[in-house]
Amino acid sequence: MTDTALVSPDAADAHPGHPLDPASAADYQAGRRILAAAGLLAESVRFAYYGLDEPAKDEVLAAPGSQPPDRRLRAFLLDVHSGESADVVVSLTRGQVVSRRVLDPRSDGQLPIINEDFAVCEEVVRADPQWRAAMARRGLTDVSKIRTCPLTAGSFGAADEEGRRMVRVLAFVQADPHDYAWSHPVDGVAAYFDLIERRVFRVVDEFERPVPAESGNYDDPAVHGPLRTDLRPIEITQPDGPSFTLDGTRLRWQNWSMRIGFDAREGLTLHQIAIADNGRERPLIYRASLPEMVVPYGDPAFRYWQAYFDTGEYLVGKWANSLELGCDCLGEIAYLDATITDDFGEPRVIRNAICIHEEDYGILWKHTDIFNGSAQSRRQRRLVVSFFTTVGNYDYGFYWYFYLDGTIECEIKMTGALFTAAYPGGDYPYSSEVAPGLGAPVHQHLFSARLDMTVDGLANAVDEIDVSGCPVGPDNPYGNAIRQHVTRLGTESQAARRADAARGRTWRVVSTDQVNRFGRPVSYTLYPEAAPPLLADPSSPVSARAGFATRHLWVTRYDPAQRYPAGDFVNQHPGGAGLPAFIAGDRDIDGADIVLWHTFGPTHVPRPEDWPVMPVARCGFTLKPTGFFGRNPTLDVPPPAGHCQDGR
Ligand code: CO
């Protein structure tokens, strides 16, 4: 699934040229040497995360010629014998460990899942007598045909779970090595597994239901039937090449410029997004990323604990796919490799992890004028920067789109396999039957975008814009009035907001010191999709852990330590970390250096058509210039060569 190659030290690239460039193989190896010299890399130590510890914004933006910032890496080190977990920062510049903090598992939770956990878990669970007995009661005596799925445990305050590094393990029947195991869940039984003691400490065996039998092997001709023969080729060609340029990690296209980053935890990161306007480089977003997502499942029985924080618990960047031209991407594609590390902190390159290309996007603008007869048409086009990742059953594509007219879109493409269970029968409201006897619980996919805004500089504020009709009155005698209501969100607590589709609610990020030609603040507007945020009860353990997902919008004052909306350590964290804690000080955000955090994503009621592999479902948000330009900024876009040259 992921094409990784071990990097030899000789192949390691030179020291990076920009402080925001992702950690290179050479960086990782230099960091390892410092950690080893400090005695922190015992044989039993694994890297649960290893990545660039980005310098603070003021250091990066410091005047040219000033001292470049310290090059630092952050490592989450897990001792798989003792269970000790530590958060360590090393300075490559100074060749030393900068800080080391040992986690308290009761208050900090646990480090992310490591690769080794998957293998250890399957081997030990299959050998556990109590679990084997539970399988045998279901007629499953050949454990070599049972696959186990180690799932993050959450935090529910159970006495025998406190302080343990653990996973909950569900089972699926895989009749042969090519069988699609998600088709055959063994329901009602779970092994609770201690990853440090490497043993099952509890087997939960609540009910028995038949293992669904129908094959979901979507690449088996017996399942998909004869392939269509009437799809003719579509080829995308750009005979003169694409219109973007890539210089190291610096990407330029039309008026846009940005730096491309990549991190094992967050995946693709975008930095210093700016737009050129009449020769002036105008900053827009200092950093854009998707630093968390949670998939809470809605079945209250037996599987009440299912809620996966794919980013904070599993690290979406680490599972990035190697993309293939013609399959994953069409046209003139530029790929960037991503360098991550294995459990031992050794660099691995994911080839073609980041895809950059241009797409035609239909009409940009068009008008046939009834008075002067002019008929003009322009093509819209977008720059696409994306990557795809596979986390367990689901595959997620993370796409950023930049348009000629200054619009930015973020889109998530969700595909892959539904997480399945046995369907209990009747009309069970918490799940859908997607194949005979096969259920897929209702769930949410809630993403958090972190948008460190710099709309024409650091001094920004956020206005909430609602629209409404107005009652008939002296100023509105015929009742047709529609007005906007503008509310400045002055402090962090005031800016914890929900979307409101009935009021067309948007949020406008305004500069508090730059104005347009009308003397009004330049701004960019966030258009949310306004789907429901977290639906779990506010008193639930998952609400405490996914506090970020209870609001569509948060605005915080920039703090370089506030990177992750569910906190730095998400796995088994008891809750309260991240955004709810960040805003506890209720800082002033009017005219400050601010960060927007936007929660979005669908509540997924699975359909039979989502099985056995789900057609891409999409969600996202849009940012549009609003008085950022003085008029339509695309009047200078030429008509397509050879067409519509003179529409008169
Ligand atoms: Co889903």
**What would the pLDDT profile of 218-270 be if each residue is shown by its tens digit?**
999 999 999 999 999 999 999 999 999 999 999 999 999 999 999 999 999 99
With bands split at pLDDT 50, 70 and 90, how would you rate the model's confidence at 326?
confident
Q: Which of 60-64, 252-256, 300-304, 309-313 has the lowest mean pLDDT?
A: 60-64
* Residue 9 clears pLDDT 60, i.e. is over it: no
| Res. 119: pLDDT tops 60 | yes
Confidence grade of residue 646 (pLDDT, cut at 50, 70, 90) = low
Q: Do residues 627 and 523 make contact, with C-beta atoms less than 8 angstroms apart?
A: yes
Q: Rounded to whole angstroms, how far apart are CA atoms 586 and 564?
A: 18
Q: How confident is the model at residue 642 (pLDDT cuts 50, 70, 90)?
A: confident
Centroid of ligand 1 to alpha carbon of 363 (angstroms)? 32
Q: Please, how many CA atoms are within 13 Å of residue 382, restricted to the half-sphere of its CB?
A: 17
**Phi/psi at 30 (nearest 5 deg)?**
-65, -40
Rounded distance between C-alpha atoms, residue 526 and residue 248, angstroms: 30
Task: Measure 434 CA to ligand 1 centroid, in angstroms.
Answer: 13
Q: 10 Å Cβ neighbour count for 197?
A: 13
Which two structure tokens, joined as six digits, stand for 490? 């002055």
Which residue from 583, 585, 573, 528 is spatially nearest to 546, judged by alpha carbons? 573
Mean pLDDT of the chain: 95
Question: Which residues share a beta bridge with 287?
Answer: 271, 452
Categorise residue 627: left if φ over 0, alpha if ψ from -120 to 50, beta otherwise.
left
Asked if residue 356 lies in contact with residue 383, where contact means CB atoms within 8 angstroms, the answer is yes
Percentage of the chain with pLDDT > 70?
97
Give start and end residues of each alpha helix (H) in 514-575. 541-545
Question: How far is residue 528's CA from residue 516's CA, in Å, rounded to a whole number?
Answer: 25
Please determine, for residue 205, whether its predicted confidence score (pLDDT) is greater than 80.
yes
Q: pLDDT at position 645, please?
A: 58
How far apart are the CA of 450 and the centre of ligand 1, in A?
Answer: 22
Cα-flanking dihedrals φ and ψ of residue 422, to 5°? -80, 140
Decide if pLDDT at 2 tops 70: no
**Do 115-224 and 4-102 have the same topology in CATH?**
yes
Instruction: State the Cα–Cα distance between residues 420 and 439, nearest whole angstrom.
Output: 6
The band of 8, judged by pLDDT with boundaries at 50, 70 and 90, is: very low
**Cα 416 to averaged position of ligand 1 atoms, centre (Å):** 9
Distance, CA of 32 to CA of 22 (rounded, Å) = 16
CA–CA gap between residue 11 and residue 46 (Å, rounded)? 24
Neighbours of 463 (CB within 10 A): 19
For the chain, which residues make up each domain, given as ranges?
A: 4-102, 115-224, 244-645
Q: What is the CATH architecture assignment of 4-102?
A: Roll (3.10)
Cα 600 to averaged position of ligand 1 atoms, centre (Å) = 13
Q: What is the pLDDT of residue 641?
A: 78
CATH number of 115-224: 3.10.450.40
Instruction: State pLDDT tens for residues 490-499.
Output: 999 999 999 9
- Tell me, in angstroms, the distance from the centre of ligand 1 to residue 358's CA: 28
How would you class 538 by CB atoms within 10 Å of its CB: exposed for 0-12, middle for 13-18, buried for 19 or more?
exposed
- For ligand 1, the distance from its centroid to the CA atom of residue 353, given in whole angstroms, is 23
Q: Beta-carbon neighbour count of residue 473 at 10 Å? A: 9
Second-level CATH architecture of 244-645: Distorted Sandwich (2.70)
DSSP 8-state class, residue 474: T
Closest among 78, 28, 129, 551 to 341, alpha carbons compared:
28
Q: Looking at the annotation, which residues are catalytic?
A: 310, 394
**Banded model confidence at residue 3, pLDDT cuts 50, 70, 90:** very low
